[in-house]
Amino acid sequence: MREAALELFCEKGYDGTTAAEIAARAGVTERTFFRHFPDKREVLFNEDELGARLEAAIAKAPAGLAPLEVVVWSFQSLASMFEENLKFAEPNRAVIAQTPALQERQLTKTAAITRTIAEALQRRGVAPALAGLTAAAGMAVTAHGLQAWVQDPSSPLVEHLGRALQALNMLSGRQLGKSD
């Protein structure tokens, strides 16, 4: 259904596509479509699944990792989920970029995932203010790594995420020639 929706969104635009058309293109009934998605925009977003999987990954992250490392490790542990959806990444991005209501939904999704991460970090003992900062930084590192990976999928996602974390660490360290 997701593939059918993206095809139609690219052909007719998001606003010009109905849930009934998506169902017909996918070869299912409209009722089946609505069993999987509450509305057509949710074809593009799956933060409930991502949030639940991130919470579980953060809870089981190895002890001894710094909070930001926990977040990146958690996203790395979910790499297969992102890899399964790579073919949808660019069409998803294009449809969202052309539709202001979807851009707003993307911001809401990002905020929800960031809150989920912060709450999971707090359960690991990270102070609330630092958990929020860490969650936001982790989302930025992940977005950077994901973007690099979509542009160059020849390297595994986990490597792109690791390089994004290294880049952030370099920005805050003396490696860039900061004067004393």
Stretch 88-99: mean pLDDT: 88
Residue 63 confidence (pLDDT):
94
**Band of pLDDT at residue 137, cut at 50, 70 and 90:** very high
- Residue 103: inside a domain: yes
User: Residue 20 — pLDDT band, cuts 50, 70, 90?
Assistant: very high
Do 159 and 99 belong to one domain?
yes
**What CATH number is associated with residue 1?**
1.10.10.60
Whether residue 180 is contained in a domain is answered as no
Please compute the mean of the pLDDT values over residues 63-75 and round it to a whole number: 96
Residue pair 117/58 in contact by the 8 Å Cβ criterion: yes
**53 plus 142 within the same structural domain:** yes
Q: Which domain holds residue 156?
A: 44-175
State the sign of the Cα–Cα–Cα–Cα dihedral 52, 56, 59, 62. negative
Are residues 56 and 135 located together in one domain of the fold? yes
Q: Is residue 20 part of a domain?
A: yes
pLDDT at residue 172, as a whole number: 80
Flag whether 87 is in a domain. Answer: yes
